[in-house]
Amino acid sequence: MNKVPESLKILFIGNSFSVDTAQHLPEIARSYGVKNIHIGVLYIGGCSTRLHYKNIKEQAKKYDYYESFCQNGEWSCTPETSSNEAVLSDDWDYIALQHGTIDGSKNTDIQYYDKLAPLVAEVRAIAPEKAKIVFNMHWVGEPWHTHPEILSFGGDTNKMYEIITNIAQTHIAKIPLLDIITPVGTAIQNARTSKIKTLNRDGYHLSLGAGRFIAALAFFVSLTALSPKNVLWFAEDMDEYEKKIAIESVENALQTPYAVTKTKVN
């Protein structure tokens, strides 16, 4: 049985998908018994790894920096922060990178990940020695959403998922200095095989309850190797069926991170 860490410090260099993933992390970590928690999220809407790389090279103060120490579930925000400042601000255990599409990049085109390896190297150069560098694998939206990339696939989000996981396996996993790929996108896709009506609040971003909970739980257990079955906190609007699906979907994503596993819970 894996030991619950005494302390957990995670920094996201990300976008709105990072916000979705991180929102429930403090409560989930505390429910496992983690005592000292610091979650930081550097946010620019839709920010791609290309833009993250440009920003870290230029030490650009362009991020809103959200932080939580799990005090009453509150988050603070510091505007005009650079990724360099945030990386140097604490003795992080994990630093998670997130890809986005605001600059015309695509999640499903390998050419738009061309700055991911240099970004990892830049982060590694200034990060605490103990910090593990993480790529947070994103999810796909609903088929009807008007996001340009979804439209370009004619709403075939299953095909989009297959391409994203293929890129993760064949390209991202081979990047030097990158330690972990979290199967968050797979956990969400697994849960979509259930009777849950939707895991999104707008067809693209995750629902405030089950969607965000699944993302946070998948992320947390990917790093700690703790069992998703041992979680003791759930988003307040989740019903018993959603709780069971969440745990099963995350457990299956850990076992099979790059392919969908249909849920068995009725």
pLDDT at 36: 94
| Residue-level pLDDT at 160 | 97
Give CA–CA dist 226/50, Å, rounded: 33
Any idea what the Cα angle at residue 214 is, between residues 123 and 110, rounded to 5°? Answer: 45
- 61-65, long-range: CB < 8 A, 24+ apart: 61/85, 65/40, 65/41
pTM above 0.95, yes or no: yes
Quickly list H helices, 89-239.
116-126, 148-152, 157-170, 184-191, 210-224
Specify the pLDDT at position 2: 82
**What is the distance between the alpha carbons of residues 18 and 103, in angstroms, rounded to a whole number?**
17
Q: Domain 7-255 is of which CATH architecture?
A: 3-Layer(aba) Sandwich (3.40)
| Cβ proximity of 55 and 24 under 8 Å | no
Distance CA 206, CA 101 (A): 17
Instruction: Say how far apart CA 12 and CA 83 lie, in whole Å.
Output: 9
C-alpha neighbours within 13 Å on the C-beta side of residue 96: 29
Distance from the first to the final alpha carbon of the chain: 29
* Closest alpha carbon to 44 in 89, 103, 124, 88: 103
Predicted local confidence at residue 265, as pLDDT: 78
CA 162 – CA 31 distance, rounded (Å):
33
- Residue ranges of the chain with per-residue pLDDT less than 50: none
pLDDT of residue 190: 98
Euclidean distance between CA atoms 113 and 53, whole angstroms: 11
**Helix, strand and coil percent figures for the chain, each rounded to 5:** 40, 15, 45
Is there a contact between 188 and 214 (Cβ–Cβ < 8 Å)? yes
